Chain A
């Protein structure tokens, strides 16, 4: 047995200090106390000092001799990933220590992660080994509802896969692989051995629209079985314009999965003189052909194809592009600012602004995109106006072939909005804090923070303007960038004119989350 350092009167940082951080570690759901959890507090003043202790048999932990300030509290169960105290997206709730602050009754809830595990077999009972298993999550990402990839695994030699550390939510599973015997055979095998597996979705369907969602609860364990049915393969030749293809050329084929998420196909492909020779199951694919044309540079072209019987039909879908200019409302922008257009699924393409603020991104396929600035420094994107494409509620809709012209405005954002979230007159920890623009435009800027243990919050880098300040007790999975979702909370908040009078601290009433709502659907 191990000599464990239990948490008791750990004398800590150098200065004179008489405050404590203390509480109890419990399991989510059951509220059972958890012993042997490693608790770590970290300073937030930039000194990066930290201290650790392990919870006792009652789940209790205690740090004494703590100077006033704000601290980050993390917990780690043996063999598990570290967890921050009350996380919501990229925001965590800090622990405030000092006069009048209660930092000794913390309830640290360890989230129970779920798993989705299973096995993939072929219709002949053999495991489908080294198949690619995609796990997609239908959830809220950066305030918008979307389907994004949670992870990808290769099945092992027995066809098994295991996704762990999953938050509760709605998931889809897609599998792409090849019959085991094809790896022993030439590209064009004879007759009944020339087979391929179509992309298969849980539960054993080929149409992504018919995929069964897996609802995973906290700590839930889903065990699934997927059976793939071999169909005669179709051989497609894809010629490159550069003949023979240059070194470093590559080929991919993707199928649109749930929510349009592209599932990269595991297929057999061989590059021969002047073309790619690929074997696929019948279906509709986006094929891409590219080659590296220099350090960090690649040329890429995509086509939609429909593969049926022995024919592959090209469905020409013209590429879209966006171009435009970012106007900076004041001087002093930093170099290296990028414009990024992203699918709601998270995949994006970006380009660095030219000195005059102009930019161009070509080769986009049709669909819905968000527009943002990367590395904006002290600036925030506050206006987007589009010609040649529709822009509303922060979403740019590009039709195939559209050539959108964008006029973007970036404003300096040097103000802070500080305050305290209160519920029934008492400070409220862990509330979602939102600053929503009020001037009626579809502004891409939304201010965001999470209230700390004393209810205080601080939204940094706010552009000047009129906002509604909202505090919601449970912001988890709330599509706060969706106006239809937020309509029921609006006008429950408080009007704020930024900049605030110097030193002014706001008080905001915490609203209750409307049960069962995250989206407008």
Chain B
């Protein structure tokens, strides 16, 4: 016997932490209430805790009231309320508050989660068990609209699914393709599947209908899923370094990845997939890591209406795209460059250059990319180009096989400086200052500013700008001028080598 259990009962540490560490400090009792943000009703049995010391916690009573004894005095302390069924990871600031030294009788609000549920049947009305259902949030992140899968569930024995814990917002719901029969034998009779479909009964993303989930609300979304014939696709990847980490995937025209795994033998290059419904696909081969030979890529457009075999994929090297930074002699700046895929996937390939050091973007597959550049240091952006293309106003096109001309980032040193202050009549809270270039070719700047104190930012490319101070940027599509139209902006011109001062009024925005 190599281990021995020595046991001792111990309730000793119950209050040790509180008493011993609190001895020399002043404490007080903090009290408050937790409310449902949708109904205004108190929330019983919610946990309220001090974020920096979770030993200081309390549960609300039936009236939503809580008291935290031994609460520290003399400094600002963040507290947060939690209860299953409220809040969400998408809203991290939910139910949180900074409590100043003199503050008491705090009110914390929690937004109740919503959900989507429904029943999935086949064309005969028979409930389907084991169908995977996914909720895709249509969200705004970094000022852009984005569709992001948030939660997946499977239908139970009565064909019912339930996705809960959703933050209020806009969602699409889709089912995943599922084979009718589990046999893997290539039997023609067994080649059928329940189609992957978007609510309500739409076969592609474009025809999908968004579902609005309100706080605390559960939306019903029933589907009828079609049965479709499926086919087998098989072929071979040629001329490939043996055993290189790589995959073959089947992409749908809307950029979605086909959900059935493709069997790919890295040694022989052979690949096969069963269960593909009729349609147009892009078959893609890609290597995962930069080996001695660099990245390889191949794609093939295929229309499936019968079994397809003997496909040949001939991967081509994906040469890295060189970046050249043209800096004025007196400047000393780093550049972060991002290629953001415009195919709907938002795949991003990025590189950061250090002052006077050129780099490259590795492994970006063929396609169109938006090029975003941020500068750090004593220079600002003048232009981005590749060959004859102006990448400030147009997309970068990457094609397979051919070497890409370098992306030339030209910096200038006559940058402008912006000084300012944010005013508010309401409670003091930090502001997000949004600086949007008028030309649309440059990326917006975002600065977090403390209330009623001066901020100063260097490194602006001279030009015309609109400036806003928001309480939060959450859910604001600020890269879209239309989304900003209803808000008051300061219109300013930043001149070369000059400092411009602004005074901004805080624009209060709710969570949604």
Contacts and interface: CB of A to CB of B under 8 A. Distances in A.
Contacts of A310: 9-11
A305 B84 contact: no
A126 B123 CA distance: 37
B5 A117 contact: no
Interface stretch (A239-247, A261-269, A341-349): A239-247
A38 interface: yes
Interface in A231-261: 234-242
B317 interface: no
Query: Which of B3, B15, B130, B189 counts the most chain A CB atoms within 10 A?
Result: B3
A38 B55 contact: no
Given A38-B181, A82-B182, A162-B157, A312 B14 contact: no
B156 A164 contact: yes
B185 interface: yes
Interface residues of A, number: 72
B10 A79 contact: no
Contacts of B183: 38, 40, 52, 76, 82
Contacts of A3: 229
B189 A238 contact: no
B18 interface: yes
Contacts of A291: 2-3
B85 interface: yes
A303 interface: yes
Interface stretch (A134-142, A177-185, A486-494): A177-185
Contacts of A162: 156-157
Given A126-B45, A241-B2, A242-B2, A185 B54 contact: yes
Query: Which of A157, A291, A299, A310 counts the most chain B CB atoms within 10 A?
Result: A157
Given A117-B156, A234-B9, A240 B4 contact: yes
B59 interface: yes
B206 interface: no
A115 interface: yes
Nearest to B11: A310
A289 B84 contact: no
Contacts of A125: 45
B180 interface: yes
Contacts of B55: 185-186, 189-190
A79 B164 contact: no
B94 interface: no
A53 interface: yes
A38 B14 contact: no
A312 B8 contact: yes
A126 B192 contact: no
B56 to A, nearest CB: 8
Query: Which of B5, B10, B15 counts the most chain A CB atoms within 10 A?
Result: B5
Contacts of A363: 1
A34 B287 CA distance: 47
B3 A242 contact: yes
A287 B15 contact: no
Contact of B157 (A50, A129, A164, A300): A164
Nearest to A158: B164
A356 interface: no
B186 to A, nearest CB: 10
B2 A52 contact: no
A239 B5 contact: yes
B6 interface: yes
Given A79-B180, A164-B156, A184-B57, A289 B5 contact: yes
Given A115-B156, A181-B82, A235-B11, A76 B182 contact: yes
A3 B231 CA distance: 13
A1 B124 CA distance: 11
Nearest to B179: A79
B128 A301 contact: no
Contacts of B156: 115, 117, 162, 164
Nearest to A80: B129
B470 interface: no
Interface string A281-313: 000000101110100000111010100011111
B227 A189 contact: no
Interface residues of B, number: 57
Interface string A59-70: 000000000000
A76 B7 contact: no
Nearest to A298: B2
A129 B165 CA distance: 12
Interface in A305-335: 305, 309-314, 319
A240 B3 CA distance: 6
A117 B228 CA distance: 30
Nearest to A126: B84
Query: Which of A5, A158, A189, A319 counts the most chain B CB atoms within 10 A?
Result: A158
Interface string B107-138: 00000000000000011000011110000000
A344 to B, nearest CB: 26
B338 to A, nearest CB: 34
B128 A309 contact: no
Contact of B15 (A40, A190, A242, A303): A190
A14 interface: no
Contacts of B157: 115, 117, 162, 164, 221
B208 interface: no
A79 B194 contact: yes
A161 to B, nearest CB: 10
Given A40-B183, A52-B185, A54-B189, A185 B57 contact: yes
A380 interface: no
B84 A79 contact: no
A5 B189 contact: yes
Interface in A59-106: 76, 78-82
B145 interface: no
Nearest to B154: A162
B20 interface: no
Contacts of A450: none
A81 B182 contact: yes
A185 B130 contact: no
B13 interface: yes
A57 B178 CA distance: 23
A311 B181 CA distance: 56
A5 B188 contact: yes
A489 B180 CA distance: 44
B5 A238 contact: yes
B6 A239 contact: yes
B162 to A, nearest CB: 7
A507 to B, nearest CB: 37
Nearest to A40: B183
Contact of A314 (B7, B18, B54): B7
A121 B58 CA distance: 21
A53 B129 contact: no
Interface string B36-63: 0000000011010100001101110000
A454 interface: no
Contacts of B361: none
B441 to A, nearest CB: 44
Given A126-B84, A181-B82, A160 B7 contact: no
A424 interface: no
B192 A2 contact: yes
Given A79-B129, A241-B3, A190 B18 contact: yes
Given A184-B54, A287-B5, 7 more contacts: A1-B227, A40-B187, A76-B183, A162-B157, A188-B17, A239-B6, A299-B2
6 contacts: A1-B227, A38-B187, A181-B57, A188-B17, A193-B58, A194-B14
Which 4 A-B residue pairings sit nearest by Cβ, starting from the closest?
A: A311-B9, A299-B2, A239-B6, A52-B187
Interface of A: 1-5, 38, 40, 50-54, 76, 78-82, 115, 117, 124-127, 129, 156-158, 160, 162, 164, 180-181, 184-186, 188-194, 221, 234-242, 275, 287, 289-291, 293, 299-301, 303, 305, 309-314, 319, 363
Interface of B: 1-11, 13-15, 17-18, 44-45, 47, 49, 54-55, 57-59, 82-85, 122-123, 128-131, 153, 156-158, 162, 164-165, 178, 180-183, 185, 187-190, 192, 194, 227-229
